[in-house]
Amino acid sequence: MPSKSSPTSNEKSPARESWSVRRLFARRQQSKDIRVKLSNITRGTIVGNNVEVACDSANRRKGLLGRDHLSLGEGLWIIPCESIHTFGMQFPIDLIYLDREQRVKKIRSNVLPWRLSVCLSAHSVIELPGGTVSATGTMPGDLLLSSLENKRT
């Protein structure tokens, strides 16, 4: 008797073909330094080519504290995360909040030090150098694609 699976059940969206959050969590046991390249496939732009993934509690708590800047292409992807603060930060950052499918839920540009930002419907947030969101044209609803970069030592 044939199965009743839908014809689209084997199709994968671009986000599902990318490095999923589950695979990133599995990789964290192998390495403390996971870096990905993030592309905005809706706009055809590179959001970051050297984005560190913070998926354990110590790295999520520390975030960007202790850094005096982020270079172009760098960033921090905090998984899971619905809110951030910039207390003690020394520079403004852009924020991209994502759902589980890596679709942009909310963006905030040039968030200054000593601020809070929240998106309760988000699963994760990407912290980027100020100006990245406008330079890449990233908007809510865009789909991001992540690909694993080589580990830095």
Encode pLDDT of 97-114 as tens digits: 999 999 999 999 999 999
Residue 82: φ, ψ to 5°: -115, -15
Q: What is the pTM of this model?
A: 0.77
Lowest mean pLDDT among 28-32, 38-42, 129-133, 145-149: 28-32
| Strands 83-85 and 144-148, bridge-based pairing | unpaired
Indicate the length of the chain as a whole number. 153
Q: Is residue 58 part of a domain?
A: yes
How many other C-beta atoms lie within 10 A of the C-beta of residue 12?
9
Question: For residue range 24-81, what is the model confidence (pLDDT) as tens digits?
Answer: 555 544 456 899 999 999 999 999 999 999 888 877 777 777 788 889 999 999 999 9
Q: How many domains does the chain contain in total? A: 1
In a domain, 6, yes or no: no
Q: Does 41 map to a domain? A: yes
Q: What is the mean pLDDT of residues 16-31?
A: 51
> Residue 118 is part of which domain span?
14-148
pLDDT of residue 153: 41
Asked whether residue 7 is assigned to any structural domain, the reply reads no
pLDDT of residue 139: 98
Q: In this structure, is residue 5 part of a structural domain?
A: no
**Is residue 1 situated within a structural domain?**
no
Q: Is residue 3 part of a domain?
A: no
* φ and ψ at residue 30, rounded to 5 degrees: -85, -30
Contact 81, 124 (CB under 8 A): yes
61 falls within a domain? yes
Does the pLDDT of residue 8 top 50, yes or no? no
The domain that holds 67 is classified in CATH as: 2.60.120.1140
